[in-house]
Amino acid sequence: MNAQNPSAVQKPQAAMIADCDIHPIWNKPKDLYPYLSRRWQEHIETFGLSHRHGWQTGTPYPKGNASGYRNDAWPEDGGKPGSDFNLLKRDLLDANNIELGILNATGANGQGFQNLECAAAYCTAVNDWLIEEWTAKDPRLKASIIVSYEDAPAAVAEIERRAGDERFAQVMLLSRTAEPLGRRRYWPIYEAAERHGLPIGIHAFGFGGYPITGGGWPSYYIEEMVGHSPACQALLTSLIVEGVFARFPKLRVVLIEAGFAWLPALGWRLDKLWKTLKAETPALTRKPSEYIRDHIWITSQPMEEPQPREQLLDTMDWIGWDRLLFATDYPHWDYDDPAHSLALRISDENRRNFFRNNAREVYGR
Amino acid sequence: MSLIPPSLIPPGAIDCDVHPAVPDLRALFPYLNNHWRDQVVQRGMGDLETISYPPNAPLSARSDWRPASGKPASSVAQMREHILDPWQIRTAILNPLYGVHLLFSEDMAAAFTSALNDWVRHEWLDRDERLRASIVVPLQNVDMAVAEIERCASDRRFVQVLVMALGETPLGRRHFWPIYAAAARHGLPLGIHPGSSYRHPVTPTGWPSYFTEDYAAQSLALQNQLTSLITEGVFQKFPDLTVVLLESGFTWLPGYLWRLTKFWRGLRLEVPWVNVSPTELVRERVRFTLQPLDAPPTAADLEALLRHVDSDKMLLFSSDYPHWQFDGDEAIPAGLPAQSLQRILVDNPMDTYPRLGEP
Amino acid sequence: MSRHVVSSVDDFPPGTRRLITVKGRPIVVFNIEGEYFALLNRCPHQQASLFHGTLTGLVASSEPGCYKFEREGEILRCPWHGWEFDIRTGQSYCDPSKIQAKSYKIEIEDGASVVKGPYIAETFSIVVEENYVVLEL
C-alpha cells in the first residue's frame, strides 16, 4: 500500500498466539465452481441458494458496517475482506504473530441449505476450496470441516472424507439449526467427531428458520447480535440435558463467537434446575456445570467489556483459564485485537494458556 | 461487608411474586357471560393449564405446599397457611399464570382474561387485605389489552400489568405501546413473567425435548425482551414506566449488559433514541424478583456478582410460591449483604410499585 | 511543544486525509471542506487505525422513530467497532467524558511566517507565497 492507503496494522503482538476464529471467504459462488460438479453449477445458476431466510443475497438484518466487515480489511482489488490471502497474512497472521489460525468458513457455505443434496455438495466444495486456497498456502492455517448438519449421513460422510487430513482441526456447525443441537438427529455427527478425535466447533449464526428470540422476530441488527448469546445458551442446554456428553464422553465442544460471560450463570441455572427436575433427564448423572467444565471450550470474541474491566477476570476464573480460547474474528467488525482487547493484569501462565496453549491442546495442531 | 446466612424471612416482607391457581375453567363461570359459558360447555373446553408449568412437575409446586386434593395455591386459605401467616408477609403480589395468553381468538382471549382478573379480585383480593395483584392483559389484541387496564386500574389493589415472556412479537415493538402508555398513566409497572403463548418454539433453534429446557429458556426470553424494550426506545418514550422481570434469576444480568452495552457503542446509529448506555437504563428502570436466584456456588461468588450488578435497588423479594425454588423458609440466600436486606424486602418493592404506598 | 509543517495547503485538498508521523506518533490529518483536523491514529478502544475510519454524520433522535442526520462529515466512525468520535473535539459519543480520541491543534500559516520559524519541516521546501498546514505537538 502507498502513503495514501497505508497499512491498518498498528502495533505487532509480541508473543506467539493462536487465533481460533478467522473467516476466509470466496468473493462469489463462481469461485467455488472449480470444486462443484456441472450439475450443481447449473443448479445454483438457475435456482440460487436455498437459505432458511428470504433474501437472495446478504443477511436478514443489514449490519452496522458494510457486510459486517472491518472497514480496513478490504483488499485493494475490490474483493471481499477475507478473500485475499496475502492481505490476511500481512494484517492478521504476521502482524499478530499467529502460529495457529483456525479457519471458519461461515457465510453462505452450504450449511443449513434447504436443498440437502446441494448443501452436501456445497460443503464439500468449500472444504476443497479451504485446502486449495488457504491451508496449502500457509501451514499456520488449519480449517474447520464444513458439514451439512441438517443431513447427518452427508455430514458424517464429509467427516470421514476429511478426518485423516491434518489440515483440518475440527468439525464446524452453526448455532441456529432446525432443531436444538442435542436432538438425536445430530448424534451421528458427534459420534463421528468423537471417533476421530475432532472437536465440534459450534459457531454462532446461521439460519434455522426460527426467529432469534422465542418471542418473535426483532426489529434491529443489534437485537440479533445480542440474541446470539441466548441462542448459544439454548443449544448448550440442549446438548447437556439430552445427554450428549453422557453418551459421548470424549466429545469436546468449542463454542465460537458468542462471547463467554454468560457461561457461568447458565451453569448455575441449570444446576439449580437439575436439582429440581432430574427425574426428567435420567441420562444426566452429573451436574450440568460439570459437563460444561469437562466438555466445553469457549472462544473469547466478542469479548464482553464491563466497567471496570477487571470484573471480567471473575468471570474468566469461574469458567476456568484452561477453557478459554482467544479469537480475533478477523475480518469482521467486532474483531478483538490480541494486543489490546484483554488489557488486564493476568498471570503469565493464564495469558499463555488463553492466547495459545489451550488452543493447541484442544485442537492438537 | 457482613453477609447473612440463608435465613428465615423477616416479618413484614413484601413478596412480589406469588401465583394463585384457577381451580379449573369453570371457576371463571361467575365472571363470564352466558355466551362464553355456553362455549366452554358446548365446545368441551378443558382447563387452561399450559406446558410452562406441568402440574405435577416438582418445580410447579413444592411438595409440602401440595394439598391432598385440588391444585396447589388454589385458595386463599392455602396461601395464608403456607406463607402469609408463618412469614408474616406484609403484602403479596398475585401473578396468575392461567393460560389465557395461549388462546387464538381475540374475543375469547379478552373475555377469559377479564374473567381471570375479576376472579382474582373477588376470590383473592376481597378475602385478604394483604393481597395485591397484577392485571393480566390479552396481548392478542392491543386495544382490548388497553381496555382491560382501563377497566381494572381504578381498583387500586391492582399494582402491575402482567405479560408473559414469549408471545408473537417482541414486547418492544411499537404496536404494543398503547399498553405501556396506559400502564404508565396509571402508575403500574410492566411485569414480565416466564410463560409463552407458544406461537414460536421457546428456543431460537426450535422446540426442545424437555421441560427443563423450556424453563431454562425463560430467562433467555427475558434477556431478549429486555433488549427489545431497550432498543425500541420504550424507556425513552415512557419515562415513567418501570419494568419488572419476574422469576427468571438475575445472575445473568452483568454478562448480558456487558454484551449489550458493548454492541450499543458501535451500533447505536441504528437505534439513535437510545441515548444513554443500556447499563444505566437497566439500573434506573428495571427490577428483578429474587427467586429463583440461580446463584453461584459460594457466598463469595455471589458477593462478586453483586458487585458486577452494582446496585442494591434492583432486587425485589419474592418467594415464587408455590413453585419449588427453595426448601423450608430459606428464601434469603447466603451471600446477600445484610445492609441490603431491608431494601430488598421492603424499600425496593415500595419504590417499584407506587400503589403499595397507598392506604 | 513544537510546530510541524504537515503539507502545503495546495497539496492537501478538501475531502482527503493523510497519515503522518510526528515525534514517533502516528497522526491522521483530515481536510474537511477546507478545515483541517488532526487525531492520534489510535482508537482509544482497541487502537484501530482511525485513518481507516468512516467520516459520517451524527444520527440524532428526539424520540423513537425520529432520525436526524446531523453534522454530516464531522463524525469519525472507527473502522472496527463503529465507535463514533467528534472530529472537532475527539470526544466519543458513547462516553464523551471518559473516552476521547486524542486531538491536536492544526493551523494554516503563510509561507513567510513558516520560513521565519521555528517550524519542523524536514521534507518540505517552503515557498513564501504558499500557505501551510501546521500541527502543534
Q: What pLDDT digit, counting tens, does each position of B22-35 carry?
A: 999 999 999 999 99
pLDDT at B57 over 60: yes
Map out the domains of chain A with their CATH numbers. Answer: 17-363 (3.20.20.140)
pLDDT at C34 over 70: yes
* Predicted local distance difference test score (pLDDT) of residue A328: 98
pLDDT at A101 over 70: yes
Average pLDDT over residues A226-254: 98
Tell me the residue type at A139.
P
Question: Does residue C12 sit at the B interface (CB-CB below 8 Å)?
Answer: no
Question: Does residue B68 sit at the C interface (CB-CB below 8 Å)?
Answer: no
Q: What is the CATH number of the domain that holds B256?
A: 3.20.20.140
C131 plus C90 within the same structural domain: no
* CA within 13 Å, CB half, A130: 28
Q: CB–CB of C80 and A335 under 8 A?
A: yes
Q: What is the CATH number of the domain that holds C123?
A: 2.20.25.680
Selection from B87, B108, B109, B98 nearest residue B20 by Cα: B98
Domain containing residue C61: 51-101
Question: Does residue A191 sit at the C interface (CB-CB below 8 Å)?
Answer: no
C94 plus C109 within the same structural domain: no
CA atoms B120, B126, B128, B134: torsion sign: positive
Q: CB–CB of A3 and C19 under 8 A?
A: yes
pLDDT at B2 over 60: no
Cβ-contact A261, B254 below 8 angstroms:
yes
Q: Count the domains in chain C.
A: 2
Helix axes A288-295, A263-277, angle to 10 degrees: 140
C96 plus C57 within the same structural domain: yes
DSSP A54: S
C97 plus C107 within the same structural domain: no
* Predicted local distance difference test score (pLDDT) of residue B1: 47
Neighbouring residues of C133: CB distance < 8 A, sequence distance ≥ 6: C5, C6, C7, C8, C9, C12, C29, C31, C36, C106, C107, C108
Question: Does residue B269 sit at the C interface (CB-CB below 8 Å)?
Answer: yes
* Predicted local distance difference test score (pLDDT) of residue B7: 59
Residues in chain B closer than 8 A to C96 (CB atoms): none
* Predicted local distance difference test score (pLDDT) of residue A13: 63
- Cα–Cα dist B300/C5, whole Å: 58
Interface of B with A in 35-64 (CB under 8 A): 57-59
pLDDT at B45 over 60: yes
Q: CB–CB of C47 and A70 under 8 A?
A: no
How confident is residue A12, by pLDDT bands cut at 50, 70 and 90? low
Whose grid coordinates read 465452481? A33
Average pLDDT over residues C24-32: 96
Collapsing DSSP to helix, strand or coil, A83 comes out as coil
Q: Which residues pair with A170 in a beta bridge?
A: A144
Q: Count the domains in chain B.
A: 1
Longest Cα–Cα distance in chain A:
68
First to last CA, chain B: 36
Residue B106's alpha-carbon distances to B25, B109, B116, B161, B271, in angstroms, are 18, 5, 15, 18, 32
* Predicted local distance difference test score (pLDDT) of residue A15: 83
Residue B2 domain flag = no
* Predicted local distance difference test score (pLDDT) of residue B6: 54
Question: What's the mean per-residue pLDDT of chain A?
Answer: 95
* Predicted local distance difference test score (pLDDT) of residue B317: 97
Average pLDDT over residues A244-248: 97
Average pLDDT over residues C16-31: 96
- Residue B30 C-alpha cell reads as 361467575
CA C82 from chain centre, in angstroms, equals 17
Q: CB–CB of C49 and A341 under 8 A?
A: no
Interface of A with B in 50-89 (CB under 8 A): 64
Domain containing residue B283: 14-357
Residues in chain C closer than 8 A to A70 (CB atoms): 48, 79-80
pLDDT at A67 over 60: yes
Residue B297 domain flag = yes
How confident is residue A3, by pLDDT bands cut at 50, 70 and 90? very low
Q: CB–CB of A219 and B232 under 8 A?
A: yes
C10 plus C34 within the same structural domain: yes
pLDDT at A4 over 70: no
Using CA coordinates, name the residue in chain C closest to B277.
Answer: C94
Tell me the residue type at A140.
R
Average pLDDT over residues A307-314: 96
Q: Which residue has the higher pLDDT, B91 or B5?
A: B91
Q: Is B2 exposed, middle or buried (0-12, 13-18, 19+ CB in 10 A)?
A: exposed
DSSP B346: I
pLDDT at B4 over 60: no
* Predicted local distance difference test score (pLDDT) of residue B338: 85
- Residue B204 C-alpha cell reads as 431460537
Parallel/antiparallel/unpaired status of strands A253-256 and A200-203: parallel
Q: Which residue has the higher pLDDT, A58 or B219?
A: B219
Collapsing DSSP to helix, strand or coil, A215 comes out as coil
C55 plus C97 within the same structural domain: yes
Whether pTM exceeds 0.90? yes
pLDDT at A34 over 50: yes
CA atoms A55, A58, A59, A61: torsion sign: negative
E strands within chain B? 14-18, 91-94, 131-136, 158-166, 190-196, 243-245, 286-289, 315-316
Cβ-contact A167, A143 below 8 angstroms:
yes
CB pairs under 8 A between A and B: 249
* Predicted local distance difference test score (pLDDT) of residue A336: 97
Average pLDDT over residues B337-354: 95
Question: Does residue B322 sit at the A interface (CB-CB below 8 Å)?
Answer: no
pLDDT at C116 over 90: no
pLDDT tens digit string along A110-128?
999 999 999 999 999 999 9
Identify the residue among B220, B281, B323 best suited for mutation to test binding to A, counting A beta carbons within 10 A and taking the highest.
Answer: B220
How confident is residue A39, by pLDDT bands cut at 50, 70 and 90? very high
How confident is residue A243, by pLDDT bands cut at 50, 70 and 90? very high
Parallel/antiparallel/unpaired status of strands C25-32 and C35-40: antiparallel
Question: Does residue A300 sit at the B interface (CB-CB below 8 Å)?
Answer: no
* Predicted local distance difference test score (pLDDT) of residue A2: 34
* Predicted local distance difference test score (pLDDT) of residue B334: 80
* Predicted local distance difference test score (pLDDT) of residue A7: 74
pLDDT tens digit string along A328-363?
999 999 999 999 999 999 999 999 999 999 999 999
Neighbouring residues of C97: CB distance < 8 A, sequence distance ≥ 6: none
Residues in chain B closer than 8 A to C61 (CB atoms): 272-273, 275
